[in-house]
Amino acid sequence: MGRRSRKPPSARGTRRGGTGRPSALRVAAALVLLGAGVALVIVFGRRTPRPAPEAVPDPAEVVRAVASRLGCASERITVERVSDREGALSSVTVHAPAGFKVQRFELELEAAVHNLAGRLARQPLTEGGGYGLARLEGVVAGQRVRVVVLGEEPPVTPKGVRPPQARPRLAIVLDDAGASRGVVEEIAPLPREVAVAVLPNAAHSAEVARALAAQGREILLHMPMQPVGGPGPGPGDGAIQVGLTRDEIGARVARALAVVAEARGVNNHMGSLATTDMPTMRAVMAALANRKLFFLDSRTSTATVAEQAARDAGVPTLRRDVFLDVVSEPDAVRRALQQAVARARGNGSAVAIGHVHPITIEVLMQELPALAHEVKLVPPSQLAD
């Protein structure tokens, strides 16, 4: 067999790259393209705007938006930035107009907060029965919030401060005594001017009324009256109800006064329905007129006619300005007490109603001594006219 002829080495070397010039050109081209790509990224990266950070929703504005959709005007909503033992808190109070759909508001507010990855939980209120309508607490966008719905008109800011010729007068009444004998000892350290309203249908009503009167306090009959229907306990036995005859209303008032015999005056327990009915209130005032008792309208409804019925019957009367413990927490009670003092400064006098709860009593013991130079504590009978 003949030998194959081999190609010259020069030919093989030339195919493998020879001098290497083509490879160098490819490297150079790649570097040029890389540089151009980097330049484009820089240029277009500078031109592309960065997305703006999402605004953190204000819990108060969330409440305003939901309430507004249901017919509650913005001026009926008040917001306070406060602090408690857990930190900062937005306290939002909705002063519900007549016909405000509270349950729908609760549901829509819970849904709106849920959509913001927040949470709200319904909480109890001390003063229900037509005045305290709802309370919700939780977290919205990392911010704590408390929402309270009240069946009351927004507070009116006094046009001016009265001349300082006399100290403003403040009357404080603590409701719901009679269920426990222990309240007598708990209240004892409070100034004697702090009055107490005793229920006639509680376990120890007569005994508690006598013991509190022996402390030199003014006692009121805390007369149970029919509230607007809703969840929670009712006013109890012997309550004044719409539709009762005048004689039956008089008899129920007489039986209640026989239990709380030390009473100098009367105020309503619940009563958001009864106090709006003029025939019912006229019958109540007729029963009080001959006994020389005053009537304190607790104003558990904005539609109350109790004060007008009392004046028509010649019964001395006065009205509640502030509830101290709608939210039964120390800081909330302190703020409400300051509101009562401010109302007294602006109007010359004010009436604050609280309850015989340990928190309320403790706050009053702590705060009243420091308020002595600002207001004069008086029993409520001194403000009745």
Q: How much of the chain, in percent, has pLDDT values that exceed 70?
A: 81
Q: How much of the chain, in percent, has pLDDT values that exceed 90?
A: 70
CA distances from 130 to 133, 152, 194, 201, 344 (A): 6, 9, 25, 21, 25
pLDDT for the residue 66: 96
Would you say residue 105 has pLDDT above 70? yes
Task: Say if CB 256 and CB 238 are below 8 A apart.
Answer: yes
Query: Lowest-confidence range among 118-127, 182-191, 195-204, 207-216?
Result: 118-127
Cα–Cα distance between 134 and 118 in angstroms, integer?
A: 19
pLDDT for the residue 16: 46
pLDDT for the residue 1: 47
Would you say residue 58 has pLDDT above 80? yes
pLDDT band at 172 (very low <50, low <70, confident <90, very high): very high
What's the average model confidence in pLDDT over 240-258? 98
pLDDT band at 14 (very low <50, low <70, confident <90, very high): very low
Task: Say if CB 274 and CB 281 are below 8 A apart.
Answer: yes
Angle at 269 (CA atoms; ends 216, 247), nearest 5 degrees = 100
pLDDT for the residue 15: 46
Residue identified by tokens 């719409």 is 242
pLDDT for the residue 254: 98
- Full set of structural domains in the chain with CATH: 59-150 (3.30.460), 169-383 (3.20.20.370)
pLDDT for the residue 282: 98
Would you say residue 17 has pLDDT above 50? no
pLDDT digits (tens, 9 = 90+) for 107-139: 999 999 999 999 999 998 876 666 788 999 999
What residues does 220 pair with on adjacent strands? 197, 265
E strand or H helix at 161: none
Cα–Cα distance between 267 and 381 in angstroms, integer?
A: 12
pLDDT for the residue 263: 98
Q: Which of 131, 134, 113, 141 is nearest to 55 (CA)?
A: 141
Cα–Cα distance between 151 and 249 in angstroms, integer?
A: 26
pLDDT digits (tens, 9 = 90+) for 23-51: 666 656 656 566 655 555 555 555 555 65
What's the average model confidence in pLDDT over 251-262? 98
What's the average model confidence in pLDDT over 78-85? 85
Would you say residue 163 has pLDDT above 90? no
The backbone region for 238, taken as left when phi is positive above 0, alpha when psi lies in -120 to 50, beta otherwise, is left
DSSP 8-state assignment for residue 244: -
pLDDT for the residue 210: 98
pTM above 0.85, yes or no: no
Both tokens assigned to 86: 């857990």
Would you say residue 140 has pLDDT above 60? yes
pLDDT for the residue 131: 79
Q: Which of 374, 326, 328, 315 is nearest to 350 (CA)?
A: 374
pLDDT digits (tens, 9 = 90+) for 305-351: 999 999 999 999 999 999 999 999 999 999 999 999 999 999 999 99
What residues does 144 pair with on adjacent strands? 139
Would you say residue 7 has pLDDT above 60? no
What's the average model confidence in pLDDT over 367-377? 96
Give the three-state DSSP class for 284.
Answer: helix
Task: Pick the most confident of 163-167, 248-252, 330-334.
Answer: 248-252
| Other C-beta atoms lying within 10 Å of the C-beta of residue 179 | 16
What residues does 122 pair with on adjacent strands? 136
